[in-house]
Amino acid sequence: MSERSRAAIVTGAAQGIGRAEAERLAGSGAFVVLNDVDSDLLRETVAALGGPGVAAGVAGDVSRPETARELVAAATADGRYLDSVVANAAVLRTGMIYDLDDADWSDVVSATLGGTFWLAREAARYWRDRERGGADARRATLVLTTSRAAILANPGQSSYAAAKAGVAVMAQTLARELRAYGVRVNAIAPRAYTKMMRDGVGDFDPAALEEWSPTHVGRFVEFLCSEHAGDITGQLFVVHGWHVSLVRTFAVSDAVDLDWAAGHEAAAARIDGLFGEDPKEIAAFQVDDLPLARPDAPSPFSVENR
Ligand SMILES: NC(=O)c1ccc[n+]([C@@H]2O[C@H](COP(=O)([O-])OP(=O)(O)OC[C@H]3O[C@@H](n4cnc5c(N)ncnc54)[C@H](O)[C@@H]3O)[C@@H](O)[C@H]2O)c1
């Protein structure tokens, strides 16, 4: 039995960003329940964090609602208070939409969007039931993991970008739903050199690895889960190394009114007014600042000749 009275959950935590988040939350004094589908690597990571007094592993696929129930049960055993929940696990499949098969859609959506929903729902039920049971009001934090793929609409990642966009909006919805229970909900779009990044885009220049270390994301999540984050809720941050930016989603313009009786040409002129001087086509995707070891390698985001 652990001496620690606060608990945290991190999914997809056997390696990469999830592991870094689990390390920081354990360092902040929480008992951390780590999840991953890779049960061997999960066991090693739990041991590296300090073993049974500090952490526990719950192997399983976040696509299954049962995994979320097992995670919350393990975190709250022995009367611990669950105050930090990080939905981090995700599945990425890359390819033009005509090359993606049925499982490329369902695996991505059920793990990335479904897995986030099941965990958030289970944690929300725990916080609601606790308060209805008359327990002392306590604060808690939920962190959902989205991606710049959703913000920038990466070509070649239609299923992943769509699932991550759903996660970003879910964070805002849940921030409103759970405010009454003292639960803050935020989303991060992390950037780090991990297995997912390496498999997706290739090796990085070793000189860039310090800036791209997942430890920075772990620190930011520890901050978000702490009282230092104050009242921040319903927000989306890009976190890359020590650089943090705030994302404002869905800017809606002033409306124009259409009069269909005046014909389509008149309607087109009104619609033109929505754009002003701006182009009507979406901008071409710019592969930006990835410090690849081989800068001449073909871009994973290229849509030419595919
Ligand atoms: N690395 C980046 O730059 C980057 C960019 C944008 C978003 N993200 C997001 O950050 C999160 C972490 O990514 P990472 O780069 O650390 O990836 P990673 O591949 O290094 O680690 C992900 C871990 O999640 C586990 N996992 C995968 N599917 C799972 C499932 N269904 N159930 C439980 N565990 C599962 C994997 O086994 C792995 O250990 C993901 O949500 C990812 O989409 C990462």
pTM for the full model? Answer: 0.96
Flag whether 302 is in a domain.
Answer: no
Instruction: Assess if residue 281 is contained within a domain.
Output: no
Does residue 123 lie in a domain region?
Answer: yes
* pLDDT of res. 262: 97
109 in Cβ contact with 98 (< 8 Å):
no
Average pLDDT of the chain is 94
Residue 134 pLDDT = 85
Q: Of the residues 81, 126, 160, 193, which is catalytic?
A: 160
What does the pLDDT look like over 229-271, one tens digit per residue?
Answer: 999 999 999 999 999 999 997 889 999 999 999 999 999 999 9
Domain coverage including residue 43: 6-246
Q: Which percentage of the chain shows pLDDT scores above 70?
A: 98
CATH number of 149's domain: 3.40.50.720
In a domain, 44, yes or no: yes
Q: Is residue 122 part of a domain?
A: yes
Number of independent structural domains in the chain: 1
Contacts of 120 (CB under 8 A, 6+ apart): 85, 87, 142, 144, 170, 174, 185
Tell me the mean pLDDT in the region 88-109. Answer: 96
Pocket (CB within 6 angstroms of ligand 1): 11-12, 14-18, 35-38, 61-63, 88-91, 111, 115, 145, 147-148, 189-192, 194-197
